């Protein structure tokens, strides 16, 4: 088991290293560099004409004239050693200030979404497989097709519309106005929970639709396995049989795709955030891209991806714990 964990851990570090290169590449992609944008920002509206020389000076001051691999090294070592993601030019403050507690908000949203996804898709998927061919099964299949086809921003708009209709205008966003800038307190946390369900529901929607199909398909497969027939032939009572034999194995593919679900959720996050007016990383990422504030964008992209990679690792561990064949490397 120790070896198993160590192997996965090493793999994770290597992946993160490659990811950081990829993210840096994306940060460098837009035409112009930080110095251009910084100068533009600093002098715009001041009446000063920005000259090429001034930009060149900023560039030299910030060390932007050095080769790309050195700048990458600066960037990544700043992050790893000092937790420093550089400056956010559009806010003229370090990126970490801009991010603030948004990382925690995003994580909260993520776990709320995952919770909804699994609490809904696993039991219902199992039910659909056991009742295969029934009206309920048919309805669920139709739902999951629709669920996968509905663009999330559309769902977000529909939900927002319904929520506005039935619950008044306070839905949307992550906080009520009076808590927006208040320090953390129990009341604020409760306010957050009250706001979280709507975005979590929207984000969980397609993940549910997807996992529902996975669980149903694996469960159907497992139900026909000889091991299930053999257990039945030993007189194991039916309900217990379903839980212990096929259902236990039917959640394996779900566990192994946790990282994939997180990826899917983060993928939808910026757009859903834009529609629902959420103030967390997804929203900030979109704004950063539109402003070409690449230090912020890169930091967020790196964070989101790191969370995915870590969740992949967690999923590997869980799977190893659930399945002795994987744990023992068979």
Partner 1 sequence: MDRLLSVENLSISFRTDEGPITPVQGVSFGVDRGRTLGIVGESGSGKSVSTKALMRLLPGSASLSPETRMRYRAKNGETVAIETLKPRDRALRRLRGGEIGMIFQEPMASFSPVYSIGNQMIETIRLHRGLGGRAARDLAVEMLAKVGISSPETRVDQYPHEMSGGMRQRAMIALALSAGPALLIADEPTTALDVTIQAQVLDLMRDLQRDLGMAMIFITHDLGVIAQIADEVAVMYLGTIVERGPTREVIRRPLHPYTRGLLEAIPAIDRLDARLKPVPGDIPSPSQRPSGCPFRTRCPEAVPGLCDRAAPRETAVGEGRAVRCHLHDAARAAA
Partner 2 sequence: MAVLDDLRAPAETRAERRERERRERYYAASQWTLIWWRFRRHRAAMAGLAVLGLMAFLGLFAEFFAPYGQTTRNAQYLNGAPQWPMFCDANGCSARPFIHGTRTERDPVTLRSRAVPDPDMRLYVRFFVEGEPARLLGFLPISTRFFGVDGGGRIHLWGTDDLGRDVFSRTLFATRTSLSIGVMGVVISFVLALIIGGVAGYFGGIVDSVIQRVTEVIRVIPVIPLYMGLAAAMPRDWTTTQVYFAMTLILGLVGWPTLARRIRSQLLSIRNEDYVVAARLAGARPSRIIATHMLPSFTSFIIVDLVISFPYMILSETALSFVGLGLRPPAVSWGVMLQQAQSVRVIEQTPWLFIPAAFVVLAVLAFTLVGDGLRDAADPYSEAR
Q: What is the dihedral of CA 287, 293, 297, 299, to 10 degrees?
A: -130
26 binds partner 1 (CB under 8 A): no
E strands along the chain, which residues?
Answer: 87-88, 93-94
User: Is the distance from CB of 118 to CB of 211 less than 8 angstroms?
Assistant: yes
Q: Point out which span in 21-29, 65-73, 209-217, 238-246 binds partner 1 (CB under 8 A).
A: 238-246
Q: CB neighbours of 10 closer than 8 A, spacing ≥ 6?
A: none
3 binds partner 1 (CB under 8 A): no
Among 67, 83, 177, 324, binds partner 1 (CB under 8 A): 324
Q: Cα–Cα distance between 248 and 242 in angstroms, integer?
A: 8
SS3 of 84-101: the string is CCCEECCCCEEHHHHHCC
Instruction: Kindly tell me which of 179 and 245 has the beta carbon lying closer to partner 1.
Output: 245
Residue 45 touches which member of partner 2, partner 1, none, C-beta under 5-8 Å by kind: none
- Please state the closest distance from residue 28 (CB atom) to partner 1, in A: 47
238 binds partner 1 (CB under 8 A): yes
Instruction: Kindly tell me which of 177 and 235 has the beta carbon lying closer to partner 1.
Output: 235
Token output for 37: 């944008």
- Please state the closest distance from residue 329 (CB atom) to partner 1, in A: 11
Instruction: Kindly tell me which of 176 and 236 has the beta carbon lying closer to partner 2.
Output: 176
Instruction: Kindly tell me which of 6 and 328 has the beta carbon lying closer to partner 1.
Output: 328
Instruction: Kindly tell me which of 236 and 274 has the beta carbon lying closer to partner 2.
Output: 274
What secondary structure does DSSP assign to 152-213, as a single string? HHHHHHHHHHHHHHHH-TT-SSSS-GGGTTSPP-HHHHHHHHHHHHHHHHHHHHHHHHHHHH
Q: Cα–Cα distance between 327 and 330 in angstroms, integer?
A: 8
Residue 324 touches which member of partner 2, partner 1, none, C-beta under 5-8 Å by kind: partner 1
Backbone φ and ψ of 3, nearest 5°: -65, -45
Residue 249 touches which member of partner 1, partner 2, none, C-beta under 5-8 Å by kind: partner 1
Instruction: Kindly tell me which of 133 and 168 has the beta carbon lying closer to partner 1.
Output: 133
Strand partners, 93: 88
* Residue closest to 262 by CA, chosen among 215, 211, 197: 211
- Please state the closest distance from residue 81 (CB atom) to partner 1, in A: 43
* Secondary structure of residue 110 in the 3-state scheme: helix
Among 168, 177, 183, 237, binds partner 1 (CB under 8 A): 237
317 binds partner 1 (CB under 8 A): no
Among 97, 158, 248, 277, binds partner 1 (CB under 8 A): 248
- Please state the closest distance from residue 250 (CB atom) to partner 1, in A: 11
Report the interface residues with partner 1, using CB under 8 A: 224-227, 229-238, 244-245, 248-249, 322-325, 328, 330
């Amino acid at each position: 088991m120790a070896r198993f964990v160590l192997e996965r851990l090493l793999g994770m570090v290597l992946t993160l290293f490659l990811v950081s290169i990829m993210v840096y590449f994306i940060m460098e992609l837009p035409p112009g560099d930080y110095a251009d944008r910084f100068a533009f920002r600093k002098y715009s509206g001041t009446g000063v004409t920005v000259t090429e020389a001034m930009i060149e000076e900023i560039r030299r001051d910030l060390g932007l004239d050095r080769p790309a691999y050195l700048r990458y090294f600066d960037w990544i070592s700043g992050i790893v050693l000092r937790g420093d993601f550089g400056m956010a030019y559009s806010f003229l403050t370090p990126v970490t200030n801009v991010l603030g507690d948004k990382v925690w908000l995003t994580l909260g949203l993520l776990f709320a979404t995952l919770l909804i996804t699994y609490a809904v898709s696993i039991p219902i998927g199992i039910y659909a497989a056991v009742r295969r061919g029934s009206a309920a099964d048919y309805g669920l299949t139709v739902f999951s097709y629709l669920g996968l086809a509905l663009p999330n921003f559309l769902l977000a708009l529909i939900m927002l519309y319904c929520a506005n209709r039935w619950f008044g205008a306070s839905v949307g966003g992550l906080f009520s106005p009076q808590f927006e800038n208040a320090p953390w307190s129990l009341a604020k946390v409760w306010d957050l929970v009250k706001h979280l369900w709507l975005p979590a529901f929207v984000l969980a929607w397609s993940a549910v639709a997807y996992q529902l199909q996975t669980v149903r398909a694996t469960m159907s497969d497992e139900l026909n396995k000889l091991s299930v027939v053999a257990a039945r032939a030993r007189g194991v009572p039916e309900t217990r049989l379903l839980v212990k034999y096929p259902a236990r194995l039917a959640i394996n593919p779900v566990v192994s795709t946790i990282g994939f679900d997180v990826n899917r959720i983060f993928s939808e996050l910026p757009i859903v955030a834009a529609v629902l007016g959420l103030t967390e990383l997804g929203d900030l990422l979109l704004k950063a891209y539109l402003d070409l504030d690449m230090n912020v964008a890169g930091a967020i992209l790196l964070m989101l991806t790191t969370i995915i990679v870590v969740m992949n690792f967690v999923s590997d561990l869980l799977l190893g714990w659930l399945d002795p064949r994987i744990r023992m490397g068979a």
